[in-house]
Amino acid sequence: MAAVDSFQLLYRQIARTCNTYIDALAIVGAWYVTRKSICLICDFYSIIRLHFIPRLVSRRDLLKHFGKWALVTGGTDGIGKAYAEELASEGINLILISHDRSKLEATATAISAMYNVETIIIEADFTKGREIYQPIRETVEDKEIGILVNSVDVPYDHPQSFLNISEDKLWDLINVNIAATNMMIHILLPGMIQRRKGAIVNISSGSCCKPTPQMATYSSVKTYLDHFSRALHFEYASKGIFVQSLLPFYIKTNTATYTDGLCIYSWIAPSANVYARHAISTLGISHRTAGYWMHSIQFLFAQYMPEWLWVWGATQMNNRLYAAFLQKS
């Protein structure tokens, strides 16, 4: 009986201790769940505040707030061209930079005729390195440029392993996606600081939020742009400069297309014009945004997603894209 009593006493002591630990763990678990729930609610509120509430009120006057000139790199295609058109619709004069002179002339002429603004074109190939920047500096030195949109971009032709990328392509990814953004800001930022107003928009990518296999270099340079933009905003916000990191996901042009092996609908992947219309409404409001309401939801889930799940999903998608590329070629 003594042994039984001793066992029961030991059991009660252990149970009492375990209950204490269970209560402590329950408190910690409840605190964690509450904290995550509050963060998620705040994130969804931020999406509503950023993408829906501003559309119920008149858009801020960008011309008055930042100035009458804007410069857009990569302004003849995709998001860059669409963003330039949105700026022109606000009455802002444009300086467009691209390597294709015929596209520059056609784009500038069309925008001038449609929106009655001044346009200046600069032919420059950002893959050529430092030699191109002095002519750009000389062209823009007498212009009070209030908005800079760094849209020029060298994408992957298709997802591929790092060693399958040529050295020329690697240098282009660095010289265009990183160096061009830095140099254009270095040229225009002093004037903005002197006037104590200006906006810089760096177009990164949603792929920057987590490591993306088969797009290692591209997603990494976009991560650089995101971190660089955020740091620059904190560095110069007190001087009146607003720096925004845009993080778009897929952009498509058709309502529903099977392109590159993926079926994506317009409400998930908008056209460049729809995306630019939404993104420009966030200028001066959010210094880091996906730019479009559905992209913001995608980015929110990507941030909460475990890294292994993102990597698995990205690998599956990129394998499909690569298979589609092989079929075409």
**Residue numbers annotated as active site:** 218
Taking residue 24's Cβ as centre, other Cβ atoms within 10 Å add up to 10
Does residue 104 contact residue 121 with C-beta atoms inside 8 Å?
yes
Continuous H helices in the chain: 2-51, 62-66, 78-89, 101-115, 133-140, 167-174, 181-195, 216-236, 272-280, 293-304, 307-328
> Residue with structure tokens 């906006």?
199
Backbone angles phi, psi at 117, to 5 degrees: -125, 160
Does residue 73 contact residue 176 with C-beta atoms inside 8 Å?
no
Convert 122-140 to b/e letters by CB count within 10 Å (16 or more is b).
bbbbbbeeeebbeebeebb
Backbone angles phi, psi at 265, to 5 degrees: -90, 160
Does residue 96 contact residue 120 with C-beta atoms inside 8 Å?
yes
